Structures are given as structure tokens and as C-alpha cells.
């Protein structure tokens, strides 16, 4: 494995936020700059994890989970991977599996709404056992989203190799 996963530090968050400085706002929250949105998400997260390259210690991904206000036992998942994982989807999937297992220890259910045009993200989550709901437009936006969720009971019974491919842990 070329990465280690540890609880994120403020340096991990600051590094990723600096990379988001010139990025356009997301369709589901256009009034928020992405770097500020990341910092706010971190402030409300119960867990934040970072993947760092072993070769140079550079932060390559962040994952976090916030409790839903209306249902605190449900974790609202967020994740960001950097270009470092292009072409390394199997390794990223393995790291996600490790992080999601930790999150599911605290939250019996993880969920999120994913832009329907994000085919790679939806394929990754499907391969990791997430259920993918039908595409729907959310109030106040023209973007179509899929509601995705993963429950502890279904995650515990998944084979170690998503989609029947090569082993997830190598």
C-alpha cells in the first residue's frame, strides 16, 4: 500500500482547502466557496480522515462524516480525492473501505446525495456496497441527485473485493 490513513490534522485540511481556492462553487450550494465549504464541513464532522502518500506525506484524500440534525444516528458522508488517485481506483476503493468501516462503528447508516452526472463516484460507491436511489431533483436546484446509503448490516456482509475484481486489500 502506498498510502496511510490517519485521523486528519488541521494541516491536511488546510492543504486541501488551498487546492480548492480557485475552484467553482458546487451546484448544490453556489453561494459558498469550495474551500470555505470544506472548512465548515470539517467543523461539524464527528470524524475526519486523511490519506497520505508514504513517499512524501502529501495529503491525497479526505473523508468526513457529520451527524444528521434530524436523525443523529445517520452519518452524512463527504469525501474528496485529489488527482493523486487518477488511475488508482482500486487503491482508493480499498482506502474508502477502511474509512467507511470506522465511520460505521459510530453511525449505523451513512448517506449522501450525489450529482447524477458523477458517474465515477456513483460507480465507486456502488462497488463498495452503497444502495443508489433513483435520480431526483432537489428543491431549489436544477441539478439531479441520487440518494446513496450504506448500512452497517450490509457492509459487514460484503466480500472484500468490490464488483468481483481483484482483492481489495493487497
Q: Can you give the pLDDT at residue 170?
A: 25
74-81: strand order across its sheet: 3-7, 47-53, 59-67, 74-81, 109-115, 144-151, 131-137
What residue spans define the domains of the chain? 3-164
| CATH code for the part of the protein at 3-164 | 3.40.630.30
Residues 25-54 have a mean pLDDT of 81
Give per-residue pLDDT as tens, 121-169. 899 999 999 999 999 998 877 889 999 999 998 776 665 544 433 333 3
**pLDDT per residue over 58-88, tens digit each?**
999 999 999 999 999 999 999 988 866 666 7
Can you give the pTM of this predicted structure?
Answer: 0.83
Which residue matches cell numbers 450504506?
A: 150
Amino acid at each position: 500500500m502506498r498510502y496511510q490513513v490517519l485521523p486528519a490534522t488541521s494541516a491536511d485540511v488546510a492543504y486541501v482547502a488551498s487546492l480548492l481556492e480557485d475552484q467553482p462553487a458546487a451546484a448544490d450550494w453556489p453561494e459558498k466557496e469550495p474551500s470555505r465549504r470544506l472548512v465548515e464541513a470539517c467543523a461539524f464532522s464527528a470524524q475526519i480522515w486523511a490519506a497520505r502518500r508514504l513517499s512524501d506525506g502529501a495529503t491525497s484524500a479526505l473523508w468526513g462524516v457529520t451527524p444528521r440534525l434530524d436523525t443523529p444516528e445517520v452519518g452524512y458522508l463527504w469525501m474528496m480525492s485529489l488527482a493523486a488517485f487518477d488511475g488508482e481506483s482500486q487503491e482508493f476503493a480499498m482506502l474508502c473501505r477502511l474509512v467507511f468501516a470506522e465511520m460505521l462503528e459510530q453511525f449505523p447508516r451513512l448517506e449522501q446525495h450525489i450529482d447524477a452526472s458523477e458517474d465515477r463516484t456513483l460507480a465507486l460507491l456502488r462497488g463498495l456496497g452503497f444502495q443508489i436511489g433513483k435520480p431526483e431533483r432537489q428543491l431549489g436546484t436544477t441539478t439531479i441527485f441520487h440518494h446513496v446509503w450504506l448500512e452497517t448490516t450490509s457492509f459487514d456482509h460484503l466480500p472484500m473485493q468490490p464488483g468481483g475484481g481483484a482483492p481489495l486489500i493487497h
